[in-house]
Every structure is written in C-alpha cells, then in structure tokens.
Amino acid sequence: CSNDSEEDMFGDYDSFYGNDPSLAQVDDTEHKYLQDKNTDVKAAGEITLGNLQSGIHQKKQDHFSTSESVVVLKADKEDAFQMNEGDPVDSNQELTESILDDLPSSQLLYFEKMHELSSGSRISPDSESRNKCVNSSSDKIRSPSSFCADAEHRNRPTDFSSGSKCNLFKTESLKDHLKSAMTGNAKAQTLQVSKTKQLKEAVLSEEICVARKTIESSSVDIGPFYGLPSKVKDLLRQLRGIETLYEWQHDCLMLESLQQRKNLIYSLPTSGGKTLVAEIIILQELLCRQKDVLMILPYVAIVQEKVWIQGLSSFGIELGFLVEEYAGSKGRFPPIKRRIKKSLYIATIEKGHALVNSLIETDRIDDLGLIVVDELHMLGEGSRGATLEITLAKILYTSKNTQIIGMSATLNNVGDLQKFLQAEYYTSNFRPVELKEYIKIRDAIYAVDSKTENGFTFSRLLNFKYSSNLERADPDHIIALVTEVIPKYSCLIFCPTKKNCENVASMVCKYLKKEFRAHREKEKQDLIKNLKNIGNGSVCPVLKQTIPFGIAYHHSGLTNDERKSIEEAYSTGVLCLLACTATLAAGVNLPARRL
C-alpha cells in the first residue's frame, strides 16, 4: 500500500476519478479495514459501514458533477482543500467532516501508515480517533477552525483532538513540500547545448588525443590522416579542393627522419606541392605536440596571401589554434604567451629574426617546436640571406628541441646546407603539369630541347597578320602571342619595370578586337567600382582603360587592397592577362596557361 500511495501522490490527479482500477482496489482496502473496526463503530453510535460505502460512492459522483469538490494537488493552488457550499449538513452529526476526507483514499491510507509508524505503542487512542475520522467520510468539512471548535464543544478525549491536529499539520507540511518541490522543478533551467556540437567536439578531441599519442611514439601507425584528425582532410577538401595527396607527398611525410623529428630539406620544381607537405607538418606540431610554429616567407605579399587567401586562418578557427601575421607593421615582440591555444607565426625574414630574438630574451625559445623556411635558397642572397642564416644559427645553438624544415625549387649547394642545418635531404622531379619552354626569334618559335646540339628545335611560325602601324607598336609580337590563349585561358607578361607594365597593358588593349569587351562584362564593371571605392572615388586611368578588355597590371605601386582585388579577379577568370614585374613570381599563386 505504501508504494501504491506514493505513485498516486505524485501522479496526475485525474487518475483518482473515473474508471480507474486503482480506486476500486483502494475501496476494497477501506472496506476490509472498516470491517475490522465494525464493533467499535457501532458502539460509538456512528454511521454504519453501508452508509460509509454509499458516502464514498456518492463522493465519486460528486467529483464528476461538480468541480468545486475536487481536491487538486498543484503548486499554483493556495489551498489543497475546497468546500462545496451546496452540500447539505446533517444536523444529527455533531462532528463535522474530517480534514482527511477531501484527500484521495490512497493518500489517506498513506497518512494512516505513517501515523502508525510514528505512534508506536499508542495504538488504541489513535486508532479510535482515526476510525471516527474515517467513518465521517460522507460529510463535508467547512473549515479547519470549525473542526477544532466542534471538537472542543463535544469534549472529545485529548488524544483525538491532538491526533486531528497532528493529521492537519502533517497534511499541511506535505502540501507545502509538494508545492515547493513542483515549483522548484518548474523553475529549474536546463542548459541548452546542441547535442550535435557536443558530439563533434568529442570526436575531434578523441582524434587529437589518438594522433598525439601516435606522433609521440615511433610506430608507423599514422592514425586518421597522417597523425591528424580526419577533420583536417575534410578542411583540405572544402577549402582547397584537395582530395588526395601526390605520391611524393605521401613518401615525404612518411620519411623516417620526420618521424624522429630530424631537420629536413626537400626540393621539387615549382607547383609540385611543397607547401602542402609543410602545412601538414605544421598542423602535426600545433595539434599533436602542442608547440608553437614559426613559418618564414620571403615577402610581405606572400605572408598576407598565406594568412588570408590560402585559408590558414580558417584552419585555425576550425582546429583551435591562432594564426599571427608578422609582416610590415604587424607583429608583437615578444608574442603573447598563450595558456591553452598554440600559435602559428607567419613572418617575413626580418620579422622572423626579431621574433626569435624576443623568444630567446624571454627564455621562451623552447616553446617554439618547429621552424619552416620557404625559398631556402635565399640564404645566399645578400643581406636578407645573412639575416635568415643568423636566425637559423641562433635556433640551432639555443634550442635542441626545435625542428627545422627548409624547402626550395632551386638548390645548388645542398651538401653545404645539410651540414649547416644538420638535416636530411629529399628531392623529386615531379610536376603536376608539364612545362614546355619555347623561344621566339622574329616570326619563328623554337622548342627548347636539351638533347639537340644547339639546345632547341624549330616548332612553328606565328599565324598573325600585322599591319605596318601594329608592327611599329608591337615589334615583339606580344599581341600575337597572347591572343592565342586569351580570353579563354589566362596569361602573364613579365616586364622589367613598373612603367613598362603599364605601357604593355595599354598597348595590348588598344589593338584588341571589341569582342574582348563582351567577355564577363558585368563582372569587369563591378571590379572597376570596387577599385573606385578603394581609391576613395578615383581609379588609375590605365586600369580604367584596360580592365574592360580583361587586362591589368600588377606591381608594387598598387595598394594592398587594389592588389588583392586584381589577384582575385585574375584567379576567377574575370581578368585574363596581367602585365607584371618579377615580384609576382616570388610565390603568389596565380596560375597561367602561357607566360
């Protein structure tokens, strides 16, 4: 009975009425209980058992007919007992309704059980008072105060009066307890966290843990993606469009020297994919070994491209590390010491040297786990090469735990570099796109061929009709060479000076056909508007003349924003021809069909 009563107490109050099988069971229990006390009831001159049962059934009908007689145990009610004013009061009844009468029967039995446990040996007086309370179940109570007054008027025994008050106090305390419990549950707020986000973070953390253990061990098991979380592979596909690595890239990443954290120099032709290998090694250091990384690049433009255009900042956001730019006026010395996230410093040669100095002075050089040097051949180029050499020498002397990775397309004295950096060497002749070299002499084009005696063989003649005016304006036949590929494909013209870049761009568009203006015309107009906004309402007259034909120049005279706009337009095919200086060849990725 105790277990059943607890379920009723915290269940929906509607379950006490209607065709509820539990109610019939409770009635049977009451019937059996009252039979045991039948003799005492008759002696006291109270209502018979038949009247009690009829009163109980009458109560059930009252619950359906009038809502005022229903007892509702809800937190938003002020009282758990409601009075039905329409019910008649029997004048022969000196004792009015019992307080417990308005409670469900299952709760009544619960209170009796609790009272029996608390009463102990005092069974006779309390059982008599409880019997009297139960036998008055056909009546309705007006108020607790009237019950107390009538009890005093009838001069009932002290045990009955105290037992009734005890039941009242127990009822009130239980009601308050239920109120507070349900109110607390209603006010309790649940933390709204996306389960999908929690799952993704858990998977990423687990993969990083596994990758870290794999990297620290000498095992050949490389984990999901070369010791990195599988999310790195997804990001490469989303941001770079890279599905799989070249065979040489896989071989290089699996080198025993890399697994043992030895210094490495590797050399491949341009566009072979050297940078991607370096980036994977960088991510291993940041995510698995939890160390900072310094990447040294030769020019400011390449640093900016690496930070923004090539999406290393996006990798940092997704994978939880910081990307800090050290070029031009940007950079902090010494860098901020991070407690949790690790940093990737992308710097020019001079800024990288200053950064290493600041880390040595603050005794933080051991926080730097890896240095990657692009265009390593610049070690032999004047003062800038000396600065780069000093930087690497300081690292070798002050930190035994910092790994050095160098890469270049052209290295002549590899043996000297290996000795200086105490490094292993890897090389390959792989090129994803075959490079064909030609020489133009007057109208004839010759293919470069090292197998022949003079180094080249005749290929073909230019098929372009020049007028006398055009011959004077374009003696090198530049227009004939570029119109074979533009506007369908892209082309670059390298010029010796900035002024020459602007003159060549103007000359080419002057003699092009008008059909070139129709190619992606709207996007060209948008580019001019963008450049005008960048220049506060003004745009270079040369660019204003050449852009409608899909032509522009590219040199250091452009602002950073202008250069980024032109590079983006060229990469997307809006511009098909750039006249540029050699600084564009220092690592900025602008692919071309002809050069």
Mean pLDDT within 420-446: 90
Q: pLDDT tens across 314-369, in order? A: 899 888 899 999 998 899 999 998 888 899 999 999 999 999 999 999 999 999 99
| 8 A C-beta contact, residue 418 and residue 386 | no
Tokens of 181: 């419990």
| 8 A C-beta contact, residue 114 and residue 225 | no
Provide the 8-state DSSP code for 1: -
User: 3-state class of 406 per DSSP?
Assistant: strand
Do β-strands 368-374 and 403-408 pair in parallel, antiparallel, or remain unpaired?
Answer: parallel
Measured CA to CA, the distance from residue 243 to residue 485 in angstroms comes to: 29
Provide the 8-state DSSP code for 573: T
Q: pLDDT tens across 534-570, in order? A: 988 888 999 999 999 999 999 888 888 888 899 889 9
Which helix (H) or strand (E) covers residue 571, if one does? Answer: helix 560-571
Tokens of 454: 């003079």
Mean pLDDT within 487-509: 92
Domains along the sequence of the chain with CATH: 230-427 (3.40.50.300), 436-462 (no CATH), 466-584 (3.40.50.300)
| 8 A C-beta contact, residue 501 and residue 555 | yes
- Rg of the Cα atoms in the chain: 45
β-partners of residue 406 are 265, 373
Higher pLDDT among residues 388 and 432, named by residue: 388
Tokens of 316: 């940092």
| 8 A C-beta contact, residue 141 and residue 95 | no
Measured CA to CA, the distance from residue 507 to residue 512 in angstroms comes to: 9
Q: Does the predicted TM-score (pTM) go above 0.85? A: no
Q: pLDDT tens across 11-44, in order? A: 444 444 444 455 555 556 655 655 555 544 444 4
Q: Is 375 left (phi over 0), alpha (psi -120 to 50) or beta?
A: left
HEC profile for 166-192? HHHHHHHHHHHHHHHHHHHHHHCCCCC
Measured CA to CA, the distance from residue 268 to residue 407 in angstroms comes to: 8
Higher pLDDT among residues 434 and 185, named by residue: 434
Cα 408 to chain center, whole Å? 35
Total length of the chain:
595
Nearest to 114 by CA among 2, 258, 281, 273: 2
pLDDT band for position 176 (cuts 50, 70, 90)? confident
